[in-house]
Amino acid sequence: MRDVSISRNYADALLALATKANAAEEWGALIHAVAGAIESDLTLRRFMEAPQVSAVDKRRILAKGMEGKAPPMFIKFLQKLVSNRRQLLIPQIATAYTDLLDDAAGRVHARVTVARAIPDAERDAIAAQLSKALKKTVVPHVNVNAQILGGVVVRVGDTVMDGSVRRRLGAVRAKMLGGL
């Protein structure tokens, strides 16, 4: 839990810097690119984890590697993470940063499960209905799962809206068995 709050604090600081630079979305892409590189590149991850490599060397190599690819203030932010020995939190900071951007934009992400693939127009209609119901812009992430038989299951955070045929049939079955 401690890492979550630390990550959130660094994400807050990064968002403040990005807002000041009028580049919140761009910096979000940058922090996610760095996080993705750390997660996917074993050599980079080991370098960032290595206690035998000094923070000074890590900061110098980061600056050299990012030069011309990111704003100087963003590079300084990464170097500060290294100085504070928080560089392994970069993936969590990236996630927290996205959450902050979504909150600021009034945007939520919904996992939408359907029984069959749906066309883009239907996906957009589901997003529009959810946006109206939740009074926020909904970004749908559609998954196909034939086991729900039909209908739709929507998850937004901890809230589940289950309009699946499978659930409805289960409710009918429970009523029928309850009446015996």
The DSSP bridge pattern shows strands 107-114 and 137-144 to be: parallel
**Angstrom distance (rounded) from CA 83 to CA 127:** 43
| DSSP of 33-67 | HHHHHHHH-HHHHHHHH-TTS-HHHHHHHHHHHHB
Alpha helices in 2-158 (DSSP H): 2-20, 24-40, 42-49, 55-66, 72-83, 90-105, 120-134
Torsion angle of alpha carbons 7, 12, 15, 16, nearest 10°? Answer: -140
**Angstrom distance (rounded) from CA 151 to CA 35:** 36
Residues recorded for the chain? 180
Render each residue's pLDDT in the chain as its tens digit; 180 residues. 588 899 999 999 999 999 999 999 999 999 999 999 999 999 999 999 999 999 999 999 999 999 999 999 999 999 999 999 999 999 999 999 999 999 888 899 999 999 899 999 999 999 999 999 889 999 999 999 988 888 889 998 888 888 888 888 888 888 888 766
> Which residues neighbour 141 within 8 Å (Cβ) at sequence distance 6 or greater?
109, 110, 111, 112
Q: How big is the CA angle at 29 (ends 88 and 27), to the nearest 5 degrees?
A: 85
Burial class (CB in 10 A: 0-12, 13-18, 19+), 166: middle
Look at residue 137 and give its three-state secondary structure. Answer: strand
Amino acid 180: pLDDT: 60
- Classify domain 2-103 at the CATH topology level: Peroxidase; domain 1 (1.10.520)
Contact 140, 127 (CB under 8 A): yes
Query: Helix 72-83 to helix 2-20 angle, to the nearest 10 degrees?
Result: 160
Amino acid 168: pLDDT: 83
User: For the chain, which residues make up each domain, given as ranges?
Assistant: 2-103, 106-178
| pTM beyond cutoff 0.85 | no
